[in-house]
Structure 1
Amino acid sequence: MTQVLASENTDQSPRSFVLEMLGFSGPEKEMLASTFRLTSRRVFTYNEPASPADRSDVYLVNADNPAALAQLQARSPNVHAPAVLIGKISAPSSWPVVEKPVRWMRLFEQLDAVMRAALQQRARRVQTEMGDWDGHTFRRAVDRNAPPVLAGVETRPTDSVLVVDDSATVRAFMRAKLAPFRFDVDYAENGETAIDMAQSKQYTCIFLDIMMPGIDGYQVCKRIKSSPATKDVAVVMLSSKSSSFDKFRGSWAGCNAYLGKPVTEDELLATIARFLPSARRVATAILEKAS
C-alpha cells in the first residue's frame, strides 16, 4: 500500500469511496456488491461500509422501494455526500436515476460523475470555510478541528484473462470492455495455442469460443479442466448457439459459465465479476458460515 495525502484537485488520483446501499434485497445487494468489486480495478473504487461507524460518501438507492427513499431522506444527502437512484421515480429527482435492468457501465459512470462533483464541492469548502481541512476525511462542521489523515491507496490487482476466439471483431470487443478494469488480457486465435498459454501462465478467467479452426472449444475446455495445472481456472464458453443441448455440452466439458453471442457488455462484466479472486473469497466465506 502506498500513502498519499487526500487531495481533491484531480480526477486521476486513485480514490476509494464508501457506498451505502438502501432498499435492496439480500440477493440484489450481493449481485451489486460482486459487480462493484470490479471497481477495485478503476481509478474510483466503491466499497460497502466495513463497519457501522463508516461514514458514507455516496448512497445507492432502490427507487422502487418507498422505505428506501425515506431512509435516504433521513440521511440528508447533499453535494458532499450525494446519491444515485436505481429504478423508476414518480416525480423529478435532484439525483441521477439509472433505470432497470441496470447497465453496469452506465451505473459506474453516474457514480463517478456525482463523486467528481462532490470532490469539487469539498475542495471549495477547503478554500472558503475550513482552512486546512483536507476536503475528504471530514464533511461536518463539528469535525473541522480534527487533523487531516493520510488516505491509503491499495495497489491495483493485475488478474490475467485469456480470450480465445478466431474473430478479430470479438477480440477487439473484449479488449475494449476489459481495458477500463486494468485486466492483463492475452489473446489466442485457436485452441492449441490457448492450451499452451494456459499451461505457461495463470489466468483468472478464460473466455473460450466454441467454433474455431482445429480443435473446438469443448475439447479445449476438457483439456484445461483435466490438467492439474489449469483445472481451477474459470472457463466461460462463448457461442452463437444457445440451446439447452449446447449449454449441456458446455457444462459436460467442465465450463463454469456459458454466454451466447453477441455478448453484451453487462453480461461480460457480471460474469467476470463472479470469478475474481475477491468474489470467490466472499462465496467461500458464505459457504463456511452456512455449514
Structure 2
Amino acid sequence: MQPTLSQKPIESRLFTVGIIGATSNALAAFNRIFSVTHHRTRSYRAVAVPVSDEPNQSIDIYVLCVNHPDVIAQWRGHVTRKSLQQPLIRLAKANTQASPQEYIVSVPLNPSKFLKTLDDYTIKELSFFPEFEIGLDDSRVSGHTLAGIRLLKNGANKLKLNGLNKALVIDDSLPVRKQIEIEFSLLDVNADLAATAEEGIEQLKTQNYDVIFLDVVMPGMDGYTACKRIRLLPHYKNVPIVLLTSKSSSFDRLKGALAGCDTYLVKPINHNDFEDVLKQHFKPKGN
C-alpha cells in the first residue's frame, strides 16, 4: 500500500505578483489592493520587477503594468530568451487584443475585478483550488466553488490521465459521493456511485472500473471487508482501490494494506490532493 496521505485543508497560500514597470507609487497601490486578501485562503503581495529582468521562478504571477510599446517590446525580448512558465497578465485598454499567452485586465483598474482575475488565474494556471474539500462537516458547495469548478472544467490545461475512463465511488454520504463525482467530471471520467459496499460490489460484477474509491465506515459491510471481497473478483485483483476515512493511524494503514487497498486518503480531501492520488496510479497524458 502506498503511503498514507493525511489530508488537511490548505490553510492559505501567499502568491507573489511581479509588477513589471511599476513606479514606487503604483507598487504601493497594488499592495493596498492586495491587503484585503490577507485573511483569505489565497493572498497576494506585489514586488517590483524591472523591465530588464528576466523571468524568475520565485514570482508566481507577472503583471505588465506599462503600455509604452518600446517597454513592452523590451520585456517581450527577455521573455523570448527565457520563457515564462505561465501566461502574462497585462493592464491595457478594454479593447486591447490579448495574445494566447496573455490575460488582459482593463484600465483604469477596478480592484475587485483585478482580484477576481488573479483568483481565476491561480485556479486555471497554477492549479490552486482548495475551496472544494471532500468530506467537510459542511458539505455544501458554494457559488465561489462552483465558479472555480467551471474554470477547471473549461481550462485548456486541465489534467487528463491515461487509462482512467470509469470510476466507482462507494460511500454512504451523498454529499461525498456527489463531490467526488464532480472531481471526476473535471477529468472527463465517468463515475458510478454506490451508497453501500454491498451495492458497490454488485456493480463491480457487471461493470469494468479503472479505480475504486471506497469509504471505510459504512452501515453494513465496512470498507476493509469490502476491499477484501473486491480483491477476490477476477477483474479487480490489481485495480487501484483508494480507502476514504476521517481518521488515520498506523493500525488503520496496516489494516488497509492487509485488506488489499493501494492508497489511504483522510478526509477532508482537497482538489489538488485528489488529483495527486490519481497521478500515483495513472500517467498524465502528454508525459
**For this structure pair, what is the TM-score category when the shorter chain's length is used for normalisation?**
0.3 to 0.5
Higher relative contact order (CA 8 A, sep 6+): 2
**Which TM-score applies when normalising by structure 2?**
0.48
